[in-house]
Amino acid sequence: MSTRPGTTSRYCAKCAKAIAAATTNVLAGWWQDLPVKEADYWHSARPLAGGQAGRDHSYFSIVVVDLAASMPYVSVQRTNLYNRAAEQPGMHQIDFESEDFNQKFSVTAPDEEFAIKLIDAGMIQWLMSTDGEFAFEIGGCNLLVSCDQLPVTGLVRLFDAATGFTDHIPHVVWAEYGAEEDDPAAEGPGL
């Protein structure tokens, strides 16, 4: 994990707009057969005079899971005014058949077809059960799960959210984007 802005994960939307950022309390290891890295992450998007970071900090708990697959980027976050209204270049806001899901979550991706494969009915049902407490960004061989900063005693929920998302990735996605069978890293979930 890096302390430079925008480098905690190459996919992290929260990281991209940070003027100042850092990670603390970094852990690395395995959680229920998943290789994970966890940290507390903060960033500030407001500068003060002289280029110093402002006091308007946001604090998150994050976990990055190494996946036995390389997948296109997809972001799944609780819907708010900002992420529903702000379309980023090259990204598409994707609506699903479930209006309840569309009202609770904002799904964005450059590849709409892949996002629809990833967010199938089983994944929608599981995401709804999280009540939008966590944000998920998947891209390349990483899954980033983030939420408001948790106390140490709350980290199990964060790790379980990472496991739950990974467990609900459809088999068709693992089959199409997963590592080759003779690759030792292919012993990940769903393969």
- Name the DSSP letter for residue 179: P
Give domain status of residue 39, yes or no. Answer: yes
* Residue 8 belongs to some domain of the structure: no
- Answer whether residue 6 is part of any domain: no
The predicted model scores a pTM of: 0.75
Q: How many CA atoms lie within 13 A of 108 on its CB side?
A: 22
Residue 91 lies in a domain: yes
Q: Is 96 helix (H, G, I), strand (E, B) or coil?
A: coil
pLDDT the model gives residue 34: 84
Mean pLDDT, residues 99-112: 95
- The pLDDT > 70 percentage for the chain reads 68
Question: How many structural domains is the chain composed of?
Answer: 1
The set of residues, in sequence order, having a beta carbon less than 8 Å from that of 17 and lying 6+ positions away, is 43, 45
Asked whether residue 122 is assigned to any structural domain, the reply reads yes
Kindly state whether residue 142 falls inside one of the protein's structural domains.
yes
Which of 113, 129, 125, 105 is CA-nearest to residue 177? 113
- Looking at every residue in the chain, the average pLDDT score rounds to 78
The Cα-based distances of 75 to 27, 56, 183 in angstroms read: 24, 24, 27
pLDDT for residue 72 = 96
Q: What is the mean pLDDT of residues 57-82?
A: 87
pLDDT tens-place string over residues 152-169: 888 899 999 999 999 999
More reliable by pLDDT, 15 or 7: 15
Give the E-state strand segments of the chain in sequence order: 20-31, 34-44, 57-78, 92-94, 105-109, 135-148
Distance of CA 160 to the CA centre of its chain: 13
- pLDDT value at residue 116: 96
142 sits in which H/E element: strand 135-148
Residue 141: per-residue pLDDT: 94
CA-to-CA distance for 47 and 53, rounded, in angstroms?
5
Q: Is residue 30 part of a domain?
A: yes
In this predicted structure, which of 25-29, 38-42, 122-126 has the lowest mean pLDDT?
Answer: 38-42
Q: Is residue 114 part of a domain?
A: yes
Q: Which two tokens stand for residue 18?
A: 């940070």
- Contact indicator for 93, 87 with CB cutoff of 8 Å: yes
Bridge-based pairing state of the strands 135-148 and 105-109: unpaired
Q: Which residue range is the domain that position 17 belongs to? A: 13-187
Q: What are phi and psi of 33, to 5 degrees?
A: 70, 10
